[in-house]
């Protein structure tokens, strides 16, 4: 039995232990025991993933009661990479949970669900056939639903969020099931190994691709199937949000990779264009909503659908370029997709854990009521800051390298002769650039408003720094973000090998070289250069600082020294106001201004109340009408079943006559 | 054996005609007691049909079929009508309506429908008659021409069930439907095996008894056996 | 072996007679459990049996693997429903002889189970018909057991619609007999009819099969003949609802399967596939439409039964070893889960004094003993792993798509999504939320009063009961999908019986 | 990596640091003259710098370490920018591509630093400036990348050094429609990024109209010195880049002393010219309303996109 098999076994066993310890013990003991067991599950997943990446293979067969081929667990390298990703996020999230959970989120159900959630997520990339994939997928879905429900007894919003989540996730399952059914009908088997390289000609393959893409897009939170994200993430406990947003959605992208890269490699152009449109659209839409969001976790949720949009766009780009014979750039694009996925996992986990720490310390999710937390929660502030840098894809973080790789693919993918590429590539470039720019605003806002300036509400003043058990995972996450940014070479190489593309290899100082397009980036060297040029300035700074220390107790500028009250600061809403105004038509906020005039004169206002809400346009214009229509239909159907036995007999009579006419005709 | 125009065939035709006429009259009449009487008549003609087929059949099956005919006579011409009549009188004594009122269909419309259904019956029973007549084992060959009557009775019984708004007349409709099935059974297969026939008859009897009991309770609880008063359970 | 064939019906008869006698209240209370246990034992014994198929009295009783499996299912589901639904053991102070109603109830349940046992173990279609019809008679009074206009109305609709439908099935059976007779060998023996040796007339068999399927489909609650089902299920006492949903529907569907294989042999799959697809999709549509805005949780469960019958019909329409095995697995899973859920629903009715969804709130916080089995059962019904229904539904869809019925499968999963949405919404509304949250609506007051009094609302039995059967049933549903041996071969052989076309 | 390019890069940085105050001085002086004032002279910015460095910085109460660190980060980013962009010589560094994406990211790092600086003191103006500044740089990003894409198509690489070298070696491509459009788009970007008219008025004293100034309201002493120097560096480096794109002659192609000296002189000339032009343009222009700015940037994006399509025609 080889390491991979052992790893898979260990995951299952540890998961069982975690569930057992969650059910058996109580109080703090439960948190510690179950938490460490969950961390163990995730760790086993990470190790398994590594050994798969290192070339280990295995095919575990699980038989069922039905006369179908047995379920197979046979992770390939890509699966290994995802397993590693999920496992890594799982470890820090589990450790974090030990210190974080309290009240409802510390119940035995929640811990058991967490363990099963981790197991499901790590088995999805291990699945080697359709049935096993669907099984793990549903395990993941069910467990995550339970996690979202943690606070159901305290907030009514939780219930609606959970119902939305359950239905959307089942929609995704149903689409995937149908898609795989179509695929296995076209390919004549249910095992991925046999399906690999299924021809893309013919209606069957097309139907399969479309169904699967949409299904996985729903799980990846792509517009317009993203509606569950901004609802579920704020309601779920933060470690769960981190797992869902960093790990689970990545599996949606994995599904698209599985279909588009492994199962049906030679995609027609329009498949690729579909993916690019889907991805770029979600990226812009997601980041716009993130930019104007004031609920911190909602902001992070929308940024998730932005980042997954970028990933899917990169995948589509890779497919397009491969179909149009630009192999070098294509491999760069696919590497970019994986780098984006990995770095997103790192910084999104960090950010959600940070948001959780703030929530735990202040009870606030609303940015407009935060501020000045850098003084009370320095560790959280630092890690959240690093995460924000990553999310804004600035040097030197993983996001920066990933976006650089993507742009290299775009710039070197130029084919003036080929009209499709000639049109698609620059448009994609523009959209991605806009996304990157808005991401910058969004995360400057998130960090600056939450942690800098002065407290905007009393609750924030009393904030206390998170305990070590929560700090350590946050720091680990931040380190991960920086490591991905400083030494991207190995990751890029692993990613390239995962998709079997000779796309990238390590170049000096842990830098990355995109062999396909002959571009090199060594962030470490960049940092070195920066240090060299900044050295004189630093020396000067320190010298002056010793010579003449600053006086740090003056009033801030208030047009003549009036000490401004904290309510006069810019808050998240006002910070996003320019963006809101520019993209008014896309966001369609509902504002209302209530002016109460003074009794004496209507020229002087006594009070002005301004309130603004941004509803999700897709939800309001697409899903709510859909639900309403379904309900109306159902109401009409209820009237048909009106209780009159004569009518019921009439049904049977009609059926009888119909059948008679059919059989005798 | 018996050829068309033989006495047996005449008798079969006569019985079949009687069955059809009684069914049509059942649709026509509104007076429940009259319907019960018609039901008796129908039972008798069904028994006659069975007996004829039995007598003109091969010797082996003769005894069994005569026994079946007797059973039919007892059950459909005497017992069931008696149960119905008793329940009906009890209901009327307790203040329940003695006429079928508030039916879904007025007489003319229902009679037109009957005509329609009879044609449908003729259409759809072609494969049955042909299938049976394919090789004239025993009597069934020549007798097969009457099969549509049975099918028509089934449809008419169903029509009564759909169209009538009284518990009692639904019972009657059910019995007509059942008679129709029996007719088809005799005409196509000279009845089913005796054991099965016994089971079938007892089932029918029990169903009728249960419905009678239920209608009594409903009358006791709801104060009427009008089906319109029984639309509590919706959706 | 042949003795085992005879055992279940006889035992049912004797136990029924015993239960009817006022001798021992305890025996009366446990009669249902005993009968089901006997059926289960018999079924398992027959499943374990190898060698020639045991028969008795010519074609009267015969237990091929399919019959054995069905007998076991009937026993298992019956055990769940009767055991979990058994009234709690009376305290020493209130020890009293069983009332007349209780005795009648027990006897009828035993009778019902006995009829079911005959129905699944006979080879003669006539006897099968008689047995299925007998269940109508047995259950008629069980549905009306609680008395009151609503349950009487339900009983009336049930008997009328059921008997009419089953009468159509009789017509079909008769025509089959006629066909065999004019083919030279007058028989109703299923084995003879599917042997393919009789030169059956196609036109006649077409009519016969069409009518028989229609008739038995009525009993199986397939649209558009489903209308009796929600009323009967919602008005009957909870265990009876469980029995009807898990056993009666299953056995009626078993009859459809038998007829289907006759048609397969004589006519090929075309006709029945069309009929079953229409019925299945129709049932799914009806279920989806009426679950989405359902206000009554027992009716909701009833419609979910219609939905699962629709899935079964579609699976049968697909045919082939995989789909048929999946259908049988689905029968097991659905029966057990649904029986447990109906029992839980009964306890909820007893505890809350209402079946209106809008008046049940925060169950998880107030009554975890009810909410947890409810949620687990629902998870099973919705086809989440590890429950058996997950495997069966996935297998049916995969097989169906490969059989070239992609459009039907797409429609199926879409409708299933609607059903899931409705069920999830309703369940979440009942289960989630804070404990003290006075339910809206006029019925709220009474419910609140009943809760305040701390005792169940009267007239709906007890709100507590044994948990073991629920745990067992749901546990079996959860693991059986993974049990490759012995379940796998059993399902395969049973499916082979049907798929011999 | 080979040493020569590194040395050249450091030379570039020093040159840029030396020129930056002068460029600003030239623009201010030119403006003053065109507006009929005498003007403080070209060296005034340098003197201001010296004076500020000698002063004790005052920091608002309740400010965080960000206030201390941000100016240095800003300065570093500008210095790094000066090292990455081909000003004096067009020699690509082996491990760090003089990629415009990298350059822009470094630039944005500085932008973020100053934006946070603006927020840190918790005054209304700082937040206002920071919000406006970030919005504008967000809208600028697409233009930058698309125009670079247009420029890189003929060269087949996005490294600025190679682009400049290619234009020097094939002057024909400078006048090509693609090149012209792309450069125009870039110019608009540079104006937006460096906060010049018509997008921002660097010499305003009215808080409500401020963008860049609003963020450094709280700064004083050496902090302000670093911020000012950094923004001047940005201006001159970006002007230098534009200059080298339009008039690539004189840019050193090798690391010899002669070529580098020549390159430095050429750079001085180009910077002076552009500074004068900039000042002249600013005199002739009024500040745009903030919410007309997106139109301008959208326009520049369109130009860049046209440049791409045009480049297909020639390529």
Q: Which pLDDT tens digit goes with each residue over C304-327? A: 999 999 999 999 999 999 999 999
8 Å CB contact of A660 and C211: yes
Per the listing, tokens 């990629």 go with D99
Question: For A428, what's the count of Cα atoms within 13 Å in the CB-facing half-sphere?
Answer: 36
Under the banding of pLDDT at 50, 70 and 90, the label for residue C445 is very low
Which A residues in the span 367-426 are in contact with D, Cβ-Cβ below 8 Å? 371-372, 374-375, 389, 392-395, 400, 403-404, 407-408, 410-412, 414, 416, 422, 426
Shared domain for C117 and C136, answered yes or no, is no
Residue B126: inside a domain: yes
- Cα separations in angstroms, C31 against C12, C19, C112: 9, 6, 12
Under the banding of pLDDT at 50, 70 and 90, the label for residue C297 is very high
C-alpha torsion sign, points A230, A430, D103, D274 = negative
- Beta strands A60-62 and A71-73, pairing class: antiparallel
Which A residues in the span 548-577 are in contact with D, Cβ-Cβ below 8 Å? 548-559, 564, 566, 568-570, 574-577
| Beta-bridge partner residues of A613 | A590
Shared domain for C424 and C278, answered yes or no, is yes
The per-residue pLDDT for A418 is 80
**Which is nearest to B183 in space by CA: B144, B209, B142?**
B144
Distance CA D198, CA D201 (A): 7
Q: From edge to edge, which strands make up the β-sheet containing A511-514?
A: A504-507, A511-514, A519-521
Distance CA A92, CA C203 (A): 71
C139 to chain B: which residues are within 8 Å by CB?
A: none
Average the pLDDT over each of A557-566, B196-205, C112-121 and give the range with the smallest value. A557-566
- Are A511 and A525 in contact by the 8 Å Cβ rule? The answer is yes
B135 to chain C: which residues are within 8 Å by CB?
A: 182, 184
- Cα separations in angstroms, C326 against A133, A413, C258, C336, C491: 19, 50, 16, 15, 8
Distance CA C287, CA A93 (A): 41
Size of interface B-C (CB pairs under 8 A): 155
To test the contact with chain A by mutation, choose from C151, C256, C385, C490 the residue with the greatest count of A C-beta atoms within 10 A, namely C385
- Give Cβ neighbours of residue C274 (< 8 Å, ≥ 6 apart): A662, C317
The per-residue pLDDT for B2 is 45
Please provide residue C433's backbone torsions phi and psi, each rounded to the nearest 5 degrees: 100, 170
**Which is nearest to D202 in space by CA: D118, D282, D113, D284?**
D282
- Are A300 and A359 in contact by the 8 Å Cβ rule? The answer is no
B206 to chain C: which residues are within 8 Å by CB?
A: 137
- Cα separations in angstroms, A339 against A490, A612, C30: 11, 37, 65
pLDDT exceeds 50 at position C456: no
Q: Nearest 10 degrees: CA dihedral of C301, C304, C308, C310?
A: 140
8 Å CB contact of D131 and A575: yes
Q: List the single residue in C157, C435, C480 with the smallest CB-CB distance to A648.
A: C157
Q: Which two tokens stand for residue C199?
A: 């030169």
8 Å CB contact of B221 and C152: yes
Question: For B202, what's the count of Cα atoms within 13 Å in the CB-facing half-sphere?
Answer: 10
**Which is nearest to B203 in space by CA: C57, C146, C172, C164?**
C164
Q: Residue C90 CB: number of other CB atoms within 10 A?
A: 12
Under DSSP, is residue A514 helix (H, G, I), strand (E, B) or coil? Answer: strand
**Which is nearest to C259 in space by CA: C128, C406, C417?**
C128
Neighbors of chain B by Cβ distance (3+ pairs < 8 Å): A, C
pLDDT exceeds 90 at position D170: no
**Which is nearest to C45 in space by CA: C500, C496, C490, C495?**
C490
C159 to chain B: which residues are within 8 Å by CB?
A: 207, 210-211, 214
Scanning A188-295, the segments in alpha helix (DSSP H) are 192-195, 203-220, 228-235, 238-242, 249-257, 269-292
Residue B14: inside a domain: yes
Question: What pTM, to 2 d.p., does this model score?
Answer: 0.94
Residue A179 C-alpha from the chain's centroid = 23
**C479–A contact, CB cutoff 8 A:** no
Under the banding of pLDDT at 50, 70 and 90, the label for residue A548 is confident
- Are A324 and A506 in contact by the 8 Å Cβ rule? The answer is no
Under the banding of pLDDT at 50, 70 and 90, the label for residue C94 is low
Number of domains in chain B: 1
Shared domain for C425 and C286, answered yes or no, is yes
C495 is in which domain, residue-wise? 273-501
8 Å CB contact of D141 and A436: yes
Distance CA C434, CA A157 (A): 12
DSSP-derived letter for residue A200 is -
D300 is in which domain, residue-wise? 3-55+62-314
Q: List the single residue in A67, A159, A635 with the smallest CB-CB distance to C433.
A: A159
Domain boundary among C268, C288, C316: C268
8 Å CB contact of D10 and A521: no
Distance CA A234, CA A84 (A): 26
Q: Which two tokens stand for residue A127?
A: 């699945």
- Give Cβ neighbours of residue D218 (< 8 Å, ≥ 6 apart): A556, A557, D59, D60, D63, D67, D117, D118, D120, D121, D123, D126
Distance CA B207, CA D7 (A): 106
8 Å CB contact of B210 and C141: yes
Distance CA C460, CA D194 (A): 80
The per-residue pLDDT for A541 is 87
Average the pLDDT over each of A245-249, A503-507, D17-21 and give the range with the smallest value. A503-507
Neighbors of chain A by Cβ distance (3+ pairs < 8 Å): B, C, D
| C–B touching, 3+ CB–CB pairs within 8 Å | yes
**B220–C contact, CB cutoff 8 A:** no
**Which is nearest to D110 in space by CA: D236, D242, D230, D216?**
D230
Q: Which two tokens stand for residue C315?
A: 């699976």
8 Å CB contact of A149 and C388: no
The per-residue pLDDT for C443 is 42
Q: Measure CA of the first residue to CA of the last residue in chain B; give whole Å.
A: 58
The per-residue pLDDT for B140 is 45
Section C91-104 average pLDDT: 77
A661: distance to nearest CA of chain B, Å? 6
Residue B153: inside a domain: yes
8 Å CB contact of C271 and A663: yes
Average the pLDDT over each of B79-88, C9-18, C242-251, D248-257 and give the range with the smallest value. D248-257
| Beta-bridge partner residues of A505 | A513
The per-residue pLDDT for C452 is 42
Give A275-306 pLDDT, tens digit per residue. Answer: 999 999 999 999 999 999 999 999 999 999 99
Q: Residue D94 CB: number of other CB atoms within 10 A?
A: 15
- Are D189 and D114 in contact by the 8 Å Cβ rule? The answer is no
Domain boundary among C268, C285, C313: C268
The overall average pLDDT reported for chain B is 84
- Are A96 and A469 in contact by the 8 Å Cβ rule? The answer is yes
- Beta strands C55-56 and C61-62, pairing class: antiparallel
Helices B107-124 & A645-664 angle (0-180, nearest 10)? 30
- Are C71 and C63 in contact by the 8 Å Cβ rule? The answer is yes
Number of domains in chain C: 3
pLDDT exceeds 90 at position D239: yes
Q: List the single residue in B124, B159, B230 with the smallest CB-CB distance to A660.
A: B124
Section B184-213 average pLDDT: 84
Q: Residue C91 CB: number of other CB atoms within 10 A?
A: 7
| D–C touching, 3+ CB–CB pairs within 8 Å | no
pLDDT exceeds 60 at position C446: no
Closest residue of chain A to B166, computed from CA coordinates: A646
Under the banding of pLDDT at 50, 70 and 90, the label for residue C457 is very low
Section A397-421 average pLDDT: 86
Give D56-107 pLDDT, tens digit per residue. Answer: 888 888 888 899 999 999 999 999 999 999 998 888 877 777 788 888 899 9
- Give Cβ neighbours of residue A153 (< 8 Å, ≥ 6 apart): A104, C362, C364, C365, C432, C433, C434, C435
Give A564-610 pLDDT, tens digit per residue. Answer: 678 888 899 999 999 998 898 888 888 899 988 888 888 888 888 88
Neighbors of chain C by Cβ distance (3+ pairs < 8 Å): A, B
The interface predicted TM-score (ipTM) is: 0.92
Give C349-382 pLDDT, tens digit per residue. Answer: 989 888 899 999 889 988 999 999 999 999 999 9
A62 to chain C: which residues are within 8 Å by CB?
A: 482
pLDDT exceeds 60 at position B137: no
Q: List the single residue in C182, C231, C296 with the smallest CB-CB distance to B131.
A: C182
| D–B touching, 3+ CB–CB pairs within 8 Å | no
**D217–A contact, CB cutoff 8 A:** yes
């Amino acid at each position: 039995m080889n390491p991979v098999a052992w790893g898979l076994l260990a995951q299952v066993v540890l998961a069982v232990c975690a569930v057992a310890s969650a059910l058996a013990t109580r109080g703090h003991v439960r948190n510690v025991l179950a938490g460490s067991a969950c961390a163990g599950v995730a760790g086993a997943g990470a190790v398994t993933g590594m050994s798969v990446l290192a070339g280990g293979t295995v095919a575990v067969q699980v038989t069922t009661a039905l006369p179908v081929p047995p379920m197979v667990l046979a992770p390939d390298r890509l699966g290994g990479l995802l397993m590693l990703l999920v496992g890594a996020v799982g470890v820090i999230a589990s450790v974090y949970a030990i210190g974080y959970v309290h009240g409802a989120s510390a119940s035995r159900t929640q811990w058991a669900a967490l363990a099963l959630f981790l197991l499901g997520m790590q088995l999805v990339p291990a699945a080697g056939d359709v049935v096993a994939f669907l099984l793990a997928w549903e395990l993941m879905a069910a467990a995550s639903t339970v996690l979202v429900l943690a606070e159901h007894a305290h907030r009514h919003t939780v219930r609606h969020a959970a119902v939305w989540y359950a239905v959307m996730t089942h929609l995704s399952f149903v689409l995937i099931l149908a898609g795989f059914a179509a695929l296995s009908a076209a390919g004549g088997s249910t095992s991925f190994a046999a399906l690999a390289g299924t021809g893309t000609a013919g209606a069957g393959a097309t139907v399969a691709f479309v169904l699967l893409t949409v299904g996985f897009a729903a799980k990846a939170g792509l517009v317009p199937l993203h509606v569950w994200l901004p609802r579920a993430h704020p309601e779920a406990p933060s470690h769960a949000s981190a797992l869902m947003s960093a790990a689970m959605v990545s599996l949606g992208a994995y599904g698209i990779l599985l279909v588009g890269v492994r199962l049906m490699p030679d995609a027609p152009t329009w498949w690729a264009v579909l993916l690019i449109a889907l991805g770029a659209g979600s990226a812009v839409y997601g980041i716009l909503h993130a930019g104007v969001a004031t609920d911190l976790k909602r902001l992070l949720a929308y940024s998730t659908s932005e980042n997954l949009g970028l990933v899917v766009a990169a995948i589509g780009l890779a497919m397009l370029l491969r179909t149009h014979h630009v192999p070098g750039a294509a491999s760069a694009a696919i590497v970019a997709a994986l780098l984006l996925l990995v770095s997103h996992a790192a910084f999104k986990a960090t950010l959600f854990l940070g948001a959780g720490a703030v929530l735990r310390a202040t009870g606030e999710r609303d940015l407009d009521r935060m501020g000045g937390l850098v003084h009370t929660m320095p560790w959280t502030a630092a890690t959240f800051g690093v995460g924000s840098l990553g999310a804004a894809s600035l040097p030197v973080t993983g996001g920066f390298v990933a976006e650089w790789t993507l742009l290299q693919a775009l710039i070197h993918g130029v084919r003036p002769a080929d009209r499709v590429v000639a049109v698609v590539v620059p448009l994609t470039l523009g959209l991605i650039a806009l996304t990157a720019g808005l991401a910058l605003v969004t995360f400057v806002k998130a960090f600056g408003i939450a942690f800098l300036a002065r407290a905007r509400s009393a609750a924030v003043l009393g904030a206390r720094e998170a305990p070590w058990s929560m700090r350590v995972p946050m720091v680990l996450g931040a380190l991960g973000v920086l490591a991905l940014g400083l030494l991207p070479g190995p990751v890029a190489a692993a990613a390239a090998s995962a998709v079997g593309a000779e796309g990238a290899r390590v170049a000096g100082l842990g830098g990355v070289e995109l062999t396909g397009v002959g571009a090199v980036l060594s962030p470490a060297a960049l940092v070195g250069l920066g240090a060299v040029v900044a050295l004189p300035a630093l020396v000067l700074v320190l010298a002056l600082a010793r010579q003449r220390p600053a006086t740090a107790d003056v009033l801030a500028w208030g047009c003549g020294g009036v000490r401004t009250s904290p309510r006069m600061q810019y808050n998240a809403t006002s910070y996003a106001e320019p963006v809101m105004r520019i993209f008014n038509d896309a966001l369609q906020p509902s504002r209302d201004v209530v002016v109460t005039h003074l009794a004496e004169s209507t020229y002087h206002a006594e009070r002005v109340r301004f309130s603004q809400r941004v509803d999700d346009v897709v939800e309001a214009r697409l899903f709510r009408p859909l639900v309403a229509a379904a309900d109306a239909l159902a109401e009409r159907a209820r009237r048909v079943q009106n209780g009159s036995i004569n009518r019921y007999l009439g049904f049977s009579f009609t059926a009888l006559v119909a059948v008679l006419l059919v059989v005798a005709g | 054996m018996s050829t068309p125009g033989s006495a047996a065939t005449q008798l079969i035709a006569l019985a079949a005609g009687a069955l059809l006429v009684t069914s049509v009259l059942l649709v026509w009449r509104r007076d429940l007691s009259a319907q019960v009487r018609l039901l008796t008549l129908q039972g008798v003609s069904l028994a006659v049909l069975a007996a004829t087929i039995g007598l003109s059949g091969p010797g082996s099956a003769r005894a069994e079929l005569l026994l079946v005919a007797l059973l039919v006579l007892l059950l459909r011409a005497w017992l069931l009508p008696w149960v119905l009549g008793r329940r009906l009188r009890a209901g009327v004594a307790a203040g329940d309506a003695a006429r079928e009122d508030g039916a879904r269909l007025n007489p003319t419309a229902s009679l037109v429908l009957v005509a329609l259904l009879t044609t449908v019956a003729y259409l759809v029973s072609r494969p049955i008659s042909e299938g049976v007549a394919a090789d004239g084992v025993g009597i069934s060959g020549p007798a097969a021409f009457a099969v549509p009557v049975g099918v028509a009775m089934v449809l008419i019984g169903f029509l009564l069930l759909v169209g009538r708004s009284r518990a009692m007349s639904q019972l009657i409709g059910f019995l007509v439907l059942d008679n129709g099935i029996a007719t088809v059974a005799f005409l196509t297969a000279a009845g089913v095996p005796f054991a099965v026939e016994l089971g079938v008859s007892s089932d029918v009897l029990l169903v009728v008894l249960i419905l009678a009991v239920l209608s009594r309770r409903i009358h006791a609880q709801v104060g009427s056996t009008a089906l319109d008063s029984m639309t509590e359970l919706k959706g | 072996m042949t003795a085992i064939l005879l055992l279940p019906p006889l035992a049912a008869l004797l136990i029924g007679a015993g239960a009817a006698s006022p001798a021992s209240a305890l025996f009366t209370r446990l009669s249902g459990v005993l009968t089901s246990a006997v059926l289960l034992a018999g079924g398992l014994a027959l499943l374990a049996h190898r060698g020639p198929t045991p028969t008795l009295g010519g074609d009267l009783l015969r237990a091929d693997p399919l019959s054995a499996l069905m007998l076991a299912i009937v026993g298992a589901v019956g055990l769940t429903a009767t055991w979990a639904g058994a009234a709690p053991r009376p305290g020493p102070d209130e020890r009293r002889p069983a009332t007349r109603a209780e005795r009648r109830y027990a006897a009828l349940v035993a009778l019902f189970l006995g009829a079911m046992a005959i129905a699944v173990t006979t080879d003669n279609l006539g006897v099968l018909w008689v047995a299925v019809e007998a269940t109508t008679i047995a259950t008629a009074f069980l549905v009306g057991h609680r008395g009151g206009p609503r349950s009487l109305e339900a009983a009336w609709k049930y008997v009328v619609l059921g008997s009419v439908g089953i009468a159509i099935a009789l017509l079909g059976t008769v025509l089959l007999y006629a066909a065999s007779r004019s083919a030279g060998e007058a028989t109703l023996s299923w084995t003879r009819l599917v042997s393919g040796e009789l030169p059956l007339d196609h036109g006649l068999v077409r009519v016969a099969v069409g009518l028989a399927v229609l008739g038995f489909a009525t009993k199986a609650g397939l649209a558009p003949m489903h209308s009796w089902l929600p009323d009967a299920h919602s008005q009957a006492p909870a265990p009876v609802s469980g029995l009807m949903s898990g056993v009666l529907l299953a056995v009626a569907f078993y009859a459809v399967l038998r007829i289907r294989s006759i048609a397969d042999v004589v006519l090929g799959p075309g006709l029945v596939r069309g009929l079953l697809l229409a019925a299945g999709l129709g049932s799914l549509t009806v279920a989806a439409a009426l679950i989405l805005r359902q206000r009554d949780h027992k009716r909701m469960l009833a419609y979910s039964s219609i939905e699962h019958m629709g899935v079964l019909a579609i699976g049968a329409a697909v045919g082939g070893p995989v789909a048929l095995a999946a259908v049988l697995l689905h029968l097991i899973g659905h029966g057990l889960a649904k029986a447990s859920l109906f029992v839980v629903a009964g306890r909820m009715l007893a505890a809350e004094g209402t079946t209106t969804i809008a008046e049940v709130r925060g169950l998880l916080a107030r009554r975890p003993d009810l909410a947890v089995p409810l949620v687990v059962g629902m998870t099973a019904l919705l086809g989440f792993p590890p429950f058996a229904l997950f495997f069966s539904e996935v297998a049916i869809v995969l097989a169906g798509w490969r059989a070239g019925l992609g459009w039907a499968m797409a429609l199926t999963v879409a409708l299933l999504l609607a059903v899931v949405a409705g069920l999830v919404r309703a369940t979440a509304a009942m289960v989630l939320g804070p404990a003290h949250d006075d339910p809206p609506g006029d019925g709220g007051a009474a419910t609140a009063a009943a809760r305040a009094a701390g005792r169940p609302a009267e007239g709906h039995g007890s709100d507590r009961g044994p948990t073991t059967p629920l745990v067992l049933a749901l546990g079996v549903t959860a693991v059986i999908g993974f049990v490759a041996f012995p379940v796998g071969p059993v399902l395969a052989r049973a499916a082979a019986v049907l798929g011999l076309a | 990596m080979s040493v020569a390019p590194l040395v050249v890069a450091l030379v570039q940085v020093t040159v840029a640091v030396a020129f930056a105050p002068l460029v600003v001085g030239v623009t201010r002086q030119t403006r003053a003259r065109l507006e009929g004032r005498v003007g403080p002279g070209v060296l005034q910015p340098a003197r201001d710098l010296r004076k500020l460095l000698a002063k004790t910085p005052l920091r608002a109460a309740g400010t965080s370490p960000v206030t201390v660190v941000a100016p240095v980060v800003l300065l570093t980013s500008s210095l790094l920018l000066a090292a990455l962009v081909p000003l004096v010589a067009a020699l690509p560094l082996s491990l760090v591509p003089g990629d415009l994406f990298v350059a822009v990211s470094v630039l944005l790092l500085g932008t973020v630093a100053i934006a946070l600086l603006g927020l840190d003191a918790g005054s209304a103006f700082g937040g206002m400036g920071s919000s406006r500044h970030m919005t504008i740089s967000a809208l600028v990003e697409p233009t930058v990348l698309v125009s670079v894409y247009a420029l890189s198509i003929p060269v087949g690489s996005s490294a600025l050094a190679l682009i400049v070298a290619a234009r020097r070696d094939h002057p024909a491509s400078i006048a090509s429609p693609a090149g012209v459009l792309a450069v125009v788009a870039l110019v608009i970007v540079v104006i937006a990024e460096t906060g010049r008219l018509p997008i921002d008025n660097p010499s305003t004293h009215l808080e409500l109209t401020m963008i860049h100034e609003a963020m450094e309201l709280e700064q004083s002493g050496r902090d302000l010195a670093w911020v000012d120097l950094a923004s001047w560096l940005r201006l001159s480096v970006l002007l230098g880049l534009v200059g080298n794109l339009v008039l690539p002659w004189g840019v050193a192609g090798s690391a010899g002393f002669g070529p580098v000296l020549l390159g430095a002189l050429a750079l001085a000339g180009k910077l002076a010219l552009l500074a004068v032009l900039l000042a002249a343009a600013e005199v002739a222009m009024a500040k745009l309303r903030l919410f007309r700015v997106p139109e301008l940037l959208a326009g520049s994006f369109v130009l860049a996109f046209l440049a791409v399509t045009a480049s297909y025609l020639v390529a």
